[in-house]
Structure 1
Amino acid sequence: MTGISRMNDADVRRFRDRLRDELAALETEDALGQDAQKVVTLDQQSVGRLSRMDALQSQAMAKATQARRATQRMRIAASFARMNDGEFGYCVECGDAIPVKRLELDPTIPTCISCASG
């Protein structure tokens, strides 16, 4: 492919540092979101029906957010594995180089634009 700038070791280190920072932020968000995922009590003396429904909805949203964070953690782990194998920055489908600008948007992206488009 033409117009793709190749990554050097400094680029890979920069992406690795960025992914480490993102992983730390995910861990912080996990700690903050633990209370929202707790079991909702059904004590009708202290909480009304609408309040319980709201609490259940908040709990479901917190669990969905946790699932998204877990998915992102897996994507980061896969990116680290590609870095360790010397394959970071190359499409896992076709092997072509992924443009650095694409990786700057999301360093966990494993495919080039062509393969991502189908």
Structure 2
Amino acid sequence: MSEEARERLLARRRALEEEQRLDEEGRKPVTLDQESVGRLSRMDALQVQAMAQALDRRREQEKLRIDAALRRIEEGDYGFCLECGEAIAEKRLEHDPAATHCIGCAR
């Protein structure tokens, strides 16, 4: 179970890193040169940049969750609720291998 989870976690982490690499263009600073970019285009570029940065922050948070799950696998604590210590349902871990809480404590 934990080896399968480990592989899924590593695959998801690689996918997140690839998404970040592909989205680098959207996070670049917006040029303020009004002659090359109109005001509305610049505003649109700023909005795209803000959305890309927010998405990047969410990806970083997910990578931290994945890293924590990988540590729990290495330490032998994977699959147990951090709140109550009970086993997390297998179906829950299949859905989200980085889950940290059982369904009762996650509410």
**When the two structures are superposed, what TM-score results if normalisation uses the length of structure 1?**
0.89
- State percent identity of aligned pairs: 51
Identify which of 100, 107, 112 aligns with 2:102.
Answer: 112
CA shift at 1:85, angstroms?
1.0
Q: Which amino acid aligns with 2:100?
A: P
The size of the alignment, in residue pairs, is 107
* Aligned with 1:51 (options 41, 48, 58): 41
Unaligned runs of 5+ in 2: none
Cα RMSD (Å): 0.6
Could you tell me which runs of 5 or more consecutive residues in structure 1 were left unpaired when the two chains were aligned.
1-10
Q: Does 1:89 align with 2:86?
A: no
TM-score normalised by L of structure 2: 0.98
Aligned equivalent of 2:4: 14
Amino acid in the other structure paired with 2:2: V
Match of residue 40, structure 1, among 19, 30, 38: 30
Counterpart position of 2:68: 78
Letter in 1 for 2:41: S
User: Which residue in 1 is equivalent to 2:54?
Assistant: 64
Higher relative contact order (CA 8 A, sep 6+): 1
